[in-house]
Amino acid sequence: MTDQEKIAKLEEIWELDEGTLAADTVLADVDEYDSMAKLSLIVLMDDDFGVKLTGDVIKGFETVSDILKLMA
């Protein structure tokens, strides 16, 4: 899966318009990145990538790129 495809998945679960996110997008600048978005991310990572995210890991995310690295 390419980074662009992974970004598209994030845009889909956060209901963002296509092209809203890029690898260097700062998550704190994304209004929609709230507690529900984080829960959606937890489900996506578990379902599609077999990664179980914890609160500490999520707190460490600064940019979209930090998430992409775990979408192996």
Q: Which residues bind another protein (CB under 8 A)?
A: 13, 15, 35-36, 38-40, 42-44, 54-56, 58-59
**In terms of CB distance, is 40 or 65 closer to another protein?**
40
Q: Which is nearer to another protein, 24 or 59 (CB)?
A: 59
The type of residue at 40 is S
In the complex, the smallest distance separating the C-beta of residue 59 from another protein, rounded to whole angstroms, is 7
